[in-house]
Amino acid sequence: MGLTPMMQQYLKMHEKVPDTIMLFRVGDFYETFFDDAITASKALEIALTGKRCGLDEPAPMCGVPHHAAEPYIAKLVEKGYKVAVCEQMEDPAAAKGIVKRDIIKVVSPGTITEGGLIQAKKNNYLASIFSDRRVFGLAYLDVSTGAFYATELPFTADSGELVNELGKIEPSEIIVNPMLYKQSALIQNLETRFGCMVGLSAAAHYEKAACERVIEDQFKVFALDSLGLKDHEAATRAAGALLAYVAESQKKVLGHINHLAYYRIEAYMLLDLSTRRNLELTETLRHGDKRGSLLWVLDQTATAMGGRLLRQWVEAPLINREKIEIRQNLVAELAANPGALPELKTLLTKIYDLERICGKISFGTVNPKDMLSLKQSLAMLPQLKAWINSVAAPDLQSRYGEADDLQDIFKLIDAGIADDAPFVLRDGGVIKTGYNAEIDRYREAHTKGKDWIRDLESAEREKTGIKSLKVKYNKVFGYFIEVTKANLSLVPEDYIRKQTLSNVERFYTPELKSMETQILGSEERLAQLEYQLFTDIRETIMAQTRRIQQRAQDVAQLDALYSLAAVGVERHYVRPEIAEDGVIAFQNGRHPVAEAIMETGTFVANNCALDEGENRMMLITGPNMAGKSTYIRQVAILTLMAQIGSFVPADSAHIGVVDRIFTRIGASDDLTTGQSTFMVEMSEVSNILKNATRHSLVILDEIGRGTSTFDGISIAWAVVEYLSNPLTIGAKTLFATHYHELTELEGVKPGIKNFSIALKETKDGVVFLRKIKRGAADQSYGIEVAQLAGFPKIVTARAKDILAELNKGESAYRAGVLDGERAAALDNQVSFYSEMLEQAKERMLDSNEQAALESLKDLEIDSMTPLEAMNALNDLKHQLQE
């Protein structure tokens, strides 16, 4: 016994898409078979059944209704599967033999356009990477909007820049060329870091000539120069392969993908993956929520497009002063019109996601309601323009005041699509009355026919005298007259029997039949014509996609600028002065997120004055919980906000543009790469030491804590020296540390200044004042903090004892050595600590032992008799036994 012909066809089709779950159309269902069925039934939580397939055992089978397949496809893709759709390519009723079938699309996380993976305010990127071991070419595309970018990155052993750039875009799927795919460590790293699907794309897709052709075809250009791809072979190959992959999976020409932007990564502030995460730019470190992130504070955008753009701005701060100022000027113009901002928001709120509607138009999935959304959005454009021209905002006006407001497209939809059009085209009533004479005629005939039928019931009742006579309709039998068995004797001669049921008989008359033909015929023709006209309107708009997209970008910009302005006004931010002098200074700065979360007025503002000279490095000491981390992050966040073009929470601010921000914050094992906490910390510091420049801003929140004290201090010390020295790096640095020993560096090494966070000692313990001040903290107050945390009294009391003893040792040492060669003593820190430890060891004895020891030392044995000596020994023993 062999497989049935249909199952043979199934297997043959599946061979074309081996890495997918294939949905195979059979009648009204998409079925999956064999292993796919088992996987799908689990993933979708639907029943697994069986189908006779010609083998001894039935094939496992699991299916979903064809008209409701989209949510199921989305669910499978969200769970990490690729889904292929194998469709019937001819009418099964008309087919001779096995119905022709073919794969019409493959859906994966990077090519899906609907469902949970598609968030309104976030792009969903498919990335493609090409490498020839000299350079990485990276291209990424949001299929749902057409946003398409490419760049090149240096090829390094740890692929650092590549990973950082991917961190910026968080792709949901990555494809790579075969050579790269062989680097299993990198592939695994990408998979785990970004939790995304990484797949191999065929070598042929990455061929240079093929890529150039695909790109030129897609963008209708004759040379790659116009896209900025000239001399960027790796980027070209990544982009070409990406387009080939999309074409192969979607089997469609996608007109909304009509623009590719090549950029250099150095054009933006470079942020490594851990810095992005540590600064909580778009989500919190702990739970990955937007709430609690910088974007959460800054995002008051009213449209999805604006939301996506603002996110991009936050992910890619600028480094060019002029560009920052251009953005600032626009924000400032809006912020200067606070009274008019609510109206702008109202207008923006009425604008739907034009970019994704363009995507749907090009995918052919746009529905009549989407068309109405498009119309409503377009109706806002002239109003938006009027708003811009009504406020005092010359820069905004010169940018957006004359924009094409697409009223031709508005008029087309307004004329063609009914105001109450349904979601589903098939439901009818889509084309507006008056748009097409033929449609109007069919509708009239249809309405007349229906009226005639409605009147028929009462007419026939009167004629026959059968009060319960009914005129009904069903899909199988069409229109009929129904009479109960009891009344059959009253049925007139001209009724023709159609169907007999248990207690009724159904009839028709020649007139009813002819009216039925007229009604059903007009319905069918109407549906065809509505479909045709809707498609025509869609195609007409499709030809204008680029214009809509350009306007969508304007709306996105205006919305993102609006958001920055609105937040600035609401939260009393100021416009920072942007400079290139390496100075970062602000008065009364606040941490935007902490301030937003805390009760109004409780956040304590602080100043900052960093420069490239004497004040390069702030060494901040002070107890835990004093506010060190908050302060150093605040400096980084304010700098970053300024470079986005945003206003900043401060009374005044002057920001010298930085090229990169680095952070070393927090300690956690990197489970994804299997590194210990200390190893992660050291790799992060190593990255900073290798990549920071004089123009960078470095934030260090404790280093060297994951190892022994000596190790830790030594590492921290050396790092501080290397970072602060302009001959090595000389970066502006904020270093929060518990190692008081480091405070000795002020005055010894140029550029380093000690700071601490003020606190007040009261009889109940310490009170944190949260104010940064010059000078090192006098002590760590660790024990006081432990007390605040509810340590048992006996433990904190004992800790205080030990500390007092340790301090005695330290001051004795200082008295002896620091008066002399101060610098030399500093170089001998390590020996200082060995000595300290020795002293500490001695003093770790409890007070009793200590006293006994002292008495032992004081014994003058020479002048004692043997008996006296015996007695003294006995006393000591007793003393120790107490």
Q: Which of 123, 131, 164, 629 binds ligand ADP (CB under 6 A)?
A: 629
Find the binding residues for ligand ADP in span 595-614 (CB under 6 A): 602-604
Distance of CA 430 to the CA centre of its chain: 37
Minimal distance in Å, beta carbon 701 to ligand ADP? Answer: 7
With CA atoms as reference, report the closest residue to 715 among 749, 733, 750, 689.
Answer: 689
121 belongs to an annotated ligand binding site: no
Closest to ligand ADP by CB, 562 or 768? 768
DSSP at 94: T
292 contacts ligand ADP (rule: CB under 6 A):
no
For tokens 């610098």, name the residue: 823
Minimal distance in Å, beta carbon 398 to ligand ADP? Answer: 41
**Angle 557-559-564 from CA coordinates, rounded to 5°:** 95
Alpha helices in 289-436, H assignment, sequence order: 294-298, 304-315, 321-335, 341-349, 354-363, 368-390, 394-400, 407-416
514 belongs to an annotated ligand binding site: no
Q: How far apart are CA 435 and CA 433, in angstroms?
A: 6
With CA atoms as reference, report the closest residue to 740 among 768, 773, 717.
Answer: 717
Q: Contact region for ligand ADP (CB under 6 A) — 112-120, 493-501, 627-635, 648-656?
A: 627-635
Closest to ligand ADP by CB, 474 or 600? 600
700 contacts ligand ADP (rule: CB under 6 A):
no
Minimal distance in Å, beta carbon 631 to ligand ADP? Answer: 6
Q: How far apart are CA 256 and CA 261, in angstroms?
A: 14
Secondary structure of 352-375 as H, E, C letters: CCHHHHHHHHHHCCCCHHHHHHHH
628 contacts ligand ADP (rule: CB under 6 A):
yes
779 contacts ligand ADP (rule: CB under 6 A):
no
Which pairs from 220-223 meet CB under 8 Å and 24+ separation? 220/258
Q: Contact region for ligand ADP (CB under 6 A) — 266-274, 406-414, 507-515, 624-632?
A: 624-632
146 belongs to an annotated ligand binding site: no
Closest to ligand ADP by CB, 654 or 770? 770
Find the binding residues for ligand ADP in span 791-850 (CB under 6 A): none
Q: DSSP characters for 518-555?
A: HHHHHHHHHHHHHHHHHHHHHHHHHTTHHHHHHHHHHH
Minimal distance in Å, beta carbon 333 to ligand ADP? Answer: 32
Q: How far apart are CA 757 and CA 737, in angstroms?
A: 12
Q: Which of 630, 733, 743, 754 binds ligand ADP (CB under 6 A)?
A: 630
81 contacts ligand ADP (rule: CB under 6 A):
no
Q: How far apart are CA 45 and CA 28, in angstroms?
A: 20
Minimal distance in Å, beta carbon 624 to ligand ADP? Answer: 4
Strand 135-142 to 126-131 pairing = antiparallel
592 contacts ligand ADP (rule: CB under 6 A):
no
Minimal distance in Å, beta carbon 736 to ligand ADP? Answer: 6
622 belongs to an annotated ligand binding site: yes
750 belongs to an annotated ligand binding site: no
Q: Which residue is nearest to ligand ADP (CB)?
A: 627
Q: Which of 22, 64, 84, 626 binds ligand ADP (CB under 6 A)?
A: 626
Tokens linked to 677? 């906490």
Q: Which of 25, 121, 551, 770 binds ligand ADP (CB under 6 A)?
A: 770
Size of the site for ligand ADP (CB under 6 A): 12
For tokens 């090519």, name the residue: 111
Closest to ligand ADP by CB, 142 or 595? 595
Counting Cβ atoms within 10 Å, is residue 686 exposed (0-12), middle (13-18) or buried (19+)?
Answer: exposed
624 contacts ligand ADP (rule: CB under 6 A):
yes
627 contacts ligand ADP (rule: CB under 6 A):
yes
650 contacts ligand ADP (rule: CB under 6 A):
no
Find the binding residues for ligand ADP in span 716-755 (CB under 6 A): 736
Strand, helix or coil for residue 188? helix
Q: How far apart are CA 84 and CA 676, in angstroms?
A: 41
Minimal distance in Å, beta carbon 566 to ligand ADP? Answer: 24
Q: For 809-830, give one letter per residue: b (16+ CB within 10 A) or e.
A: bbeebeeeeeeeeeeebbeeee
758 belongs to an annotated ligand binding site: no
Closest to ligand ADP by CB, 139 or 700? 700
The H or E element containing residue 107 is: strand 101-107
Contact assessment for residue 270 and residue 657, using Cβ atoms and an 8 Å cutoff = no
Q: What are the binding residues? A: 622-629
Q: What are the binding residues for ATP? A: 622-629
Residues that bind ligand ADP (CB under 6 A): 602-604, 624-630, 736, 770
